[in-house]
Amino acid sequence: MIGMHFGAFLTLLVVSLIGAAAIHYGFRYRFLEGIDGFLGKWIVGWVAAWVASPVLGSWFIRVKIADVYLIPALLGAFAGAFMTTAVFKALAKARASGMESKAATPVSMHETKAA
């Protein structure tokens, strides 16, 4: 599957476009608001759709275009686009909570020295 035909590449491109558009514009699940967030989801969705067929298997042989099984590819594209945003939101939340605890640390150290 590493050496793919151009038709398979285009099929994965369209499938990942559908997944990224559904997550970014349909569900409005975003970390970055502009086109950069959408393009990031599209790229990760393409990679996830590419990996999904070998991982999930070949479902519904009749729903196959250019040697790409559409059901696993769609599931992979949606999962990849969703996980991109979920991971970055989790990292931002962890960083924000870590900064709050660091901001409180010098005050508690100052009170300990004064006592």
Per-residue model confidence as pLDDT tens digits over 73-91: 999 999 999 998 999 889 9
Report d(CA 64, CA 103) in Å as an integer. 55
Q: Any idea what the Cα angle at residue 17 is, between residues 57 and 7, rounded to 5°? A: 60
The Cβ-side half-sphere exposure at 86, using a 13 Å CA radius, reads: 8
Q: Going by C-beta distance under 8 Å and a sequence separation of 6 or more, which residues neighbour residue 50?
A: 1, 12, 73, 76
Query: What percent of the chain is predicted at pLDDT more than 70?
Result: 83
Q: Which of 13, 17, 36 shows the shortest CA–CA distance to 85? A: 36
Q: What is the pTM of this model?
A: 0.75
